[in-house]
Amino acid sequence: MRLIESCALLALLCSYALADFQPKLAASSNGKYYVSLDKANFFQAFLNCRSAGLQLASIRSQKEEKDIEEAIKGANPGVTYLNGFWTSGTNLANIASSQYYWLSTGGMAIYTKWLAGEPNNQLNNEHCLEIFLGEDKKFVWNDSVCTVNYRYVCQDTI
């Protein structure tokens, strides 16, 4: 199934699922990003953002990366190493590829900030993109198992 068809199917499912659910979100200072206060798997995070009239975040530039990092820090003053946050990045449309796309926009992830050696699709089971604070206190990207529960970042619709 092509990415655009996958996105359309997921959007259709979102229109029916969790119509009354409102996730717990902390707004960033610029009002564009919302960081979850709860944890969810990648798919549930996508639905939670949609149910709030938002979308799971995409990171298309260094500025967007910085803004999301600031939103995470603002909502989580004590954020520590290995506290992952879902973004809309995935290679589920073509799991044989290491090319990631933003589910929220359908666009290819051109700007990247992968941790060294990532994405590595460990055990052929890592297809969703998390952002986390590395040991060096810098945010980096990692491909992770989509069913793991992390917090997540939503953004205003693009």
CATH no. for residue 86? 3.10.100.10
* Per-residue confidence (pLDDT) for residue 9, from 0 to 100: 44
* Per-residue confidence (pLDDT) for residue 11, from 0 to 100: 45
* Per-residue confidence (pLDDT) for residue 135, from 0 to 100: 85
* Per-residue confidence (pLDDT) for residue 83, from 0 to 100: 79
Q: For residue 97, what are the contacts with CB-CB under 8 A and spacing of at least 6?
A: 91
Selection from 55, 70, 44 nearest residue 131 by Cα: 70
Q: How many independent structural domains does the chain possess? A: 1
pLDDT digits (tens, 9 = 90+) for 54-92: 999 999 999 999 999 999 988 877 777 667 999 999 999
Task: Give the residue ranges of the chain where pLDDT is below 50.
Answer: 1, 3-4, 6-20
Question: Which range marks the domain in which residue 48 is found?
Answer: 3-18+25-155
| Phi, psi of 59, deg, nearest 5 | -125, 100
* Per-residue confidence (pLDDT) for residue 29, from 0 to 100: 64
* Per-residue confidence (pLDDT) for residue 121, from 0 to 100: 96
- CB environment 4-18: b (16+ within 10 A), e (fewer): eebbeeeeeebeeee
DSSP run (H or E) holding 3: helix 3-16
